[in-house]
Structure 1
Amino acid sequence: MRMRALITAGLVGLSVLATQAAASGQSAVDPLGEKQWGLAQLRAPEAWATSTGAGQVIAVVDTGVDLGHPDLAPKLVPGATFAGCGDRPAPCGNGDWRGVDGVGQPTDVHGTHVAGIAAAVAGNGIGIAGVAPDARIMPIKALENGSGSFADIGAGVRYAADHGANVVNLSLGAQPGTQLLTLLGLANETKDAIAYAREKGVVVVASAGNETAPLCDTPAWESGALCVAATDADELHSTYSNLALKLDTRAVSAPGGKSKQGCDADIWSTVPRGAGSSKCGQADYDSFAGTSMAAPQVAGVAALLGAQGRDADGIEKALMTTARTPLVGLRGVFNPVYGYGVVDAAAAVQQPL
């Protein structure tokens, strides 16, 4: 059984935020910050006065990362490659998006985009700001050409847990209905790896899925993972996003974009150098939509909370109890559309330890 990255490369109205990194002692404006409406929806800049994620490591288990991207390179810790190893023992590489064959597949820009959302450098005068601008990134390539096996993904999660990751981001998922396989014990590698990471105190954040289905896809479905559904710039549940339903109800929502309504209605982030689409007009950045983009928003907030000394249980509690349900204004109340609500970084970092 294989999983694929949850890519909905929609190009989607504009919400403005000028992003600066004063909290990190930096002052240069990130040029694409005015397009990062997701940071405003999360209230991340308000949280940076309290925490910027310093000392935390976010493992991006995905298609790998462009290790030389200027908005990411200063943030990287050693990573690993598990996909495409062939007869070689895994890990067989350093997490570079190009893989062991040295070829960067078009779909494999995904991991670089996810990494930037979580923790791109802020205030350096280029590109964007990450949700946790002082957290580090561990690049783990468990997908090749946009897909990978339960075994490779599970191995990537275990590697992250054993090598210092505080948060694991899984912007990937299997088709709806695959939850039955893990419930029956027929595809346990990723499920067991998530349980292993959680036992080691690692927060695991995973995408709900992009099939407009009622349940979170696996691995977001699994016990120990926090499922993340997507919202648009108006804080409405994104039409492509799965609902935030899973057995243990551990689910929230975060900005993922609208899709198909222009670049600025989606989520801007880093892509491998030179891989940006002509449609959005940036060489090293691009705008995608999907629950893949929502999950690293939450992973970034988890890093902000971890930097305050919270353990995994405390991080999840702060995320869920302070999340807000749009329109009605409730906080920390579960519903099947938004889970416990849209994550609110500013409220979460003020939650008592």
Structure 2
Amino acid sequence: MRIRALVTAALVGLSVLTTQTTATAQQTGDPLGDAQWGLTQLRAPEAWASSTGAGQVIAVVDTGVDLGHPDLAPKLVPGATFAGCGDGPAPCGNGDWRGVDGVGQPADVHGTHVAGIAAAVAGNGVGIAGVAPDARIMPVKVLENGSGSFPEIAAGIRWAADHGADVINLSLGASLGAQVLTLLGINAEAKEAVAYAREKGVVVVASAGNETSPLCGTPAWEAGALCVTATDPKGQHASYSNFGIKLDTKAVAAPGGASKQGCENAVVSTVPRGMGKPECGQSDYDSLAGTSMAAPHVAGVAALLTAQGRDVEGVERALIRTARTPLLGTRGLYTAVQGYGLVDAAAAVQQPL
């Protein structure tokens, strides 16, 4: 039986014309930098003096990436396609968002958006800056029209781990209740693939899910994956986001945006050229919200940390110990809602190795 994994897809596509002001545009020279409140919330620009992610590869295991996007093309390493291969051998493509049939599905803008959040080019005079502006992107297409099977997703994770990924981002998730299936060993492909990647020294970051469930969804639920819940622009738990409950408690929070409060409260990033919604005012960029947007913020910070020579345990330790809990003013304190709290890139890169 084919079990479909549901991408924790962005909830809204909204205008980026009215935005909160940040210092990012001045720091990077990217015209949409002032819209990137997520970078400010993470304190990513303050971390760049210590690390920009140079030499690191972030695998975006998702719907594929627009390989010609000007904010992404200079950053790409060879990728692979596992969705839509049919009865033929896999991989059957290079990770392009348009898939084997050459047709780009509207739902498949997702992977390009995720990739930009993590590692879009900074200072090139167009668009945005990624959290890890000097990291590379590995496009791995495991979803077609926004969904795919556990075996396809697992194959993509393993391929990325075998082909040089330092960080794997999984902005996708199965439907509610899939945690039981993996606990019972009924569908163990993704669980085993995450464990395989971790054994190879790869940091695996996964979105918590958008169902307002207490539990991190699958594969974020699995041991070896860091579960990421979403915050709104105020740093509070986003209303749609799942909580950070999982057996090993390895969960943090990051900017995901608010779902119904206007464009300035979503997350602006790259989309395949020409696919930006007209109301957004940009043809190659769009503003979306979801835990899918939160995960690549953390994947970007993870690349800043692996670039400093940290192993998987060191990366997780730095992220967890320095994460902050809004209002309480504490760091590294676990709560059921946001896990260990909002990731702080500037503090994480300063943690002793």
Taking structure 1 as the reference length, the TM-score comes to: 0.97
Change in 2 beyond 3 A, CA 1:69/1:142: same
For 1:142 and 1:113, locate their aligned partners in 2 and report how far apart those are by CA, in whole Å. Answer: 15
For 2:236 and 2:64, locate their aligned partners in 1 and report how far apart those are by CA, in whole Å. Answer: 30
Residue 211 of structure 2 aligns with which residue?
A: 211
Residue 221 of structure 2 aligns with which residue?
A: 221
**Superposition deviation, residue 21 in structure 1:** 8.4
**Superposition deviation, residue 229 in structure 1:** 0.1
**1:187-244 Cα distance to aligned partner (Å, 9 max, x none):** 0111100000000000000000000011000000000000000000000100000001
Residues 206, 226 of structure 1: 8 Å contact kept:
yes
**1:16-40 Cα distance to aligned partner (Å, 9 max, x none):** 2132586xxxx6x101000000000
For 1:2 and 1:124, locate their aligned partners in 2 and report how far apart those are by CA, in whole Å. Answer: 38
Superposition map of 1:263-278 within 5 A: 263-278=263-278
Matched, 1:190 2:190: yes
For 1:131 and 1:278, locate their aligned partners in 2 and report how far apart those are by CA, in whole Å. Answer: 26
Taking structure 2 as the reference length, the TM-score comes to: 0.97
SS in 2 for 1:253: strand
Residues 334, 340 of structure 1: 8 Å contact kept:
yes
Residue 8 of structure 1 aligns with which residue?
A: 10
Residue 247 of structure 1 aligns with which residue?
A: 247
For 1:347 and 1:57, locate their aligned partners in 2 and report how far apart those are by CA, in whole Å. Answer: 22
Matched, 1:86 2:86: yes
SS in 1 for 2:254: strand
Residues 191, 222 of structure 1: 8 Å contact kept:
yes
For 2:265 and 2:86, locate their aligned partners in 1 and report how far apart those are by CA, in whole Å. Answer: 40
Name the amino acid aligned to 2:38. Answer: G
Residue 231 of structure 1 aligns with which residue?
A: 231
SS in 1 for 2:83: coil
**1:98-132 Cα distance to aligned partner (Å, 9 max, x none):** 00000000000000000000000001000000000
Residue 262 of structure 1 aligns with which residue?
A: 262
Residues 13, 286 of structure 2: 8 Å contact kept:
no
Name the amino acid aligned to 1:221. Answer: W
Matched, 1:133 2:133: yes
Residue 22 of structure 2 aligns with which residue?
A: 17
**Superposition deviation, residue 262 in structure 1:** 1.2
Residue 47 of structure 1 aligns with which residue?
A: 47
**Superposition deviation, residue 261 in structure 1:** 1.3
Change in 2 beyond 3 A, CA 1:21/1:225: farther
Superposition map of 1:279-294 within 5 A: 279-294=279-294
For 1:87 and 1:328, locate their aligned partners in 2 and report how far apart those are by CA, in whole Å. Answer: 54
Number of residue equivalences: 348
Residue 115 of structure 1 aligns with which residue?
A: 115
**1:30-65 Cα distance to aligned partner (Å, 9 max, x none):** 010000000000000000000000010000000000
Name the amino acid aligned to 2:23. Answer: A
Backbone CA RMSD of aligned residues = 1.1
Change in 2 beyond 3 A, CA 1:224/1:21: farther
**Superposition deviation, residue 5 in structure 1:** 1.2
For 2:13 and 2:23, locate their aligned partners in 1 and report how far apart those are by CA, in whole Å. Answer: 21
Residue 308 of structure 2 aligns with which residue?
A: 308
SS in 2 for 1:237: coil
Residues 122, 129 of structure 1: 8 Å contact kept:
yes
**1:160-187 Cα distance to aligned partner (Å, 9 max, x none):** 0000000000000011111000000000
Residues 25, 32 of structure 2: 8 Å contact kept:
no
For 1:205 and 1:245, locate their aligned partners in 2 and report how far apart those are by CA, in whole Å. Answer: 15
Unaligned stretches of 5+ in structure 2?
none
Residues 20, 122 of structure 1: 8 Å contact kept:
no
For 1:279 and 1:294, locate their aligned partners in 2 and report how far apart those are by CA, in whole Å. Answer: 23
For 1:79 and 1:11, locate their aligned partners in 2 and report how far apart those are by CA, in whole Å. Answer: 27
**Superposition deviation, residue 11 in structure 1:** 4.8
For 1:42 and 1:11, locate their aligned partners in 2 and report how far apart those are by CA, in whole Å. Answer: 22
Q: Give the fraction of aligned pairs with identical amino acids, expressed as a percent.
A: 74
Residues 151, 189 of structure 2: 8 Å contact kept:
yes
**1:291-341 Cα distance to aligned partner (Å, 9 max, x none):** 000000000000000000000110010000000000011000100111000
For 1:18 and 1:259, locate their aligned partners in 2 and report how far apart those are by CA, in whole Å. Answer: 24
**Superposition deviation, residue 15 in structure 1:** 2.4
